[in-house]
Amino acid sequence: MDRDIEPHIVRQRRNKKLLQAGVVLAGLAGLFFLLSAWISPSVSRADVLTAHVRRATIDGSISASGTIVPAFEQAISSPGESRLLSVRKKPGERVKHGEMLLELDRSELALSLDRTEKEVSLKANRQQQLKLDMARTLEDLNGQLSIKDLRLEFLKSKSEQSDKMLALGAIAKDQMEQTKLEERIAHIERDKLGESIRNTKESLDNQLEGMTTEVHTLLKEKEDIRRQLELLACKAEHDGVVTWIKEEVGSSIHRGDIIARVADLTSYRVEATVSDIHAASLSIGMSAIVRVNDLSIPGTIQTIYPTIENGVQKLSIAIDGAQSASLRPNLRADVSLITSRRDSVLVLKKGPYVNGKGQQTVFRIDGTTARQVPVTLGVMNFDDVEIATGLADGDEVIVSDMNEYSHLSQIKIH
């Protein structure tokens, strides 16, 4: 016969079952949290780069690329046709002002100079002879004019006497008229001689002027040949380094051919290129920062070339000469063209996380968790970017590439 179980036994059994169920649930919960922690994405702090938001001054800039070139380079060209006889200097050698770089054949120019000097001498002699002939001719004509003046004076006096004698009845009227006629004839002859002297002098002056012009032309030609001979000596016009020189001995050289280049390697400039979309933002005198390897050099835009080719704007940048000793020609350089300056703003080190100006997200580190937060980026340069909104001074941010975690709102940092 069945009998009822004691109530306290029932309670003990129920409590035991509840305890067992609680233990099982606690174990499952612990296992769930362990598995969640094990499965949840995480990164090692050693595998990421971080930087702190700070308050500072930032320069807005446009990125450009450039090449280091000598600030001054002399291109030596041939003044005429010649032939290369010998090479006196090699590329890389230092030269002083007046040192010969190349020896060119100057024999043809030397013969031309000799011919010109002889022509100058002949023309000068003819010029001198023409002056003597001119002086002699004018002297003879002026002597004849003096005689004509004396004869005219005599006839005037005779005519006056004839008038008086006619009034006294001492001579006939025909004799008086004859005297007057002789006076008029002498006057005409004197005037004609005077005109002839003026014409002769003008003609001789023109001849002398033409001869003088010929002599001056030959003298200029002579000086030009002398200058060409001096240029064919191929001498350096200033101290520097030979950057290039024509080395094919025996080769023909034509007028205008570049035969050597000498550069002053104590100062440099940068030939830079930038996209033409920034052309309107550029101006002469704009500040720039030139980076060559680990060296940062301040500079200023010196020239903006007027033409744009293939969407590229070219410009020349003058740089601080104090750091020129570390530079070499043709080194590649990164250039930042400073367009604006913002003081006391939040800035963050620039890195792969930047995908352009405006709104985007970054991972901010909070303890052992990196949370993705929206930010607004402002002006930026080669090193830093302005944080307009989304972060506070002192926030630590991952600045390395986090594209593979962009779909997550947060990740663990260990």
Place of tokens 């100058």: 120
pLDDT recorded at residue 9: 65
Same domain, 399 and 301: yes
The two beta strands, 50-52 and 369-380, are unpaired
- How far apart CA 129 and CA 204 sit, in angstroms, is 12
Tokens of 37: 């922690």
Give me the pLDDT at residue 121, please.
84
Residue ending a domain, choose from 260, 276, 302: 260
Do 236 and 179 share a structural domain?
A: no
* Domain interval for residue 213: 107-230
Q: What is the 3-state secondary structure (H, E, C) of 357-397?
A: CEEEEEEEEECCEEEEEEEEEEEECCCEEEEEECCCCCCEE
User: Residues 75-101, buried b or exposed e (16+ Cβ, 10 A)?
Assistant: ebebbbebebeebbbeeeeebeeebeb
Domain check: are 89 and 238 in the same one?
Answer: yes
| Residues sharing a CB contact under 8 Å with residue 382, sequence separation 6 or more, in sequence order | 61, 63, 289, 291, 334, 336, 350
Q: Which residues are paired to 410 by β-bridges?
A: 371
Q: Are residues 211 and 347 in the same domain?
A: no
In a domain, 25, yes or no: no
Q: Closest by alpha carbon to 364, among 381, 378, 348?
A: 348
Query: 128 and 224 share a domain?
Result: yes
Same domain for 293 and 404, yes or no, is yes
Question: Rounded CA gap, 314 and 310, in Å?
Answer: 11
Predicted confidence pLDDT, tens digits, the chain (414 residues) = 445 566 666 566 666 666 776 666 766 666 555 544 445 578 888 889 999 999 999 988 888 999 998 888 888 888 777 888 888 888 888 888 888 888 887 777 777 878 888 888 888 888 888 888 888 888 888 888 888 888 888 878 877 777 777 777 777 777 777 878 887 888 888 888 888 888 888 888 888 888 888 888 888 888 887 887 777 777 888 888 888 888 888 888 888 888 888 888 888 899 999 999 988 889 999 999 999 988 889 999 999 999 898 999 999 999 887 666 778 888 999 999 998 888 999 999 999 888 877 899 999 999 899 999 999 998 888 889 999 999 999 999 999 998 888 888 899 988
Is residue 104 within 8 Å of 82, Cβ to Cβ? yes
Contact 305, 315 (CB under 8 A): yes
Number of domains within the chain:
3
- Residue 37 has what pLDDT? 46
pTM beyond cutoff 0.85: no
Position 30 scores a pLDDT of 60
pLDDT at 158: 78
Instruction: Give which of 68, 11, 4 is closest to 299, Cα–Cα.
Output: 68
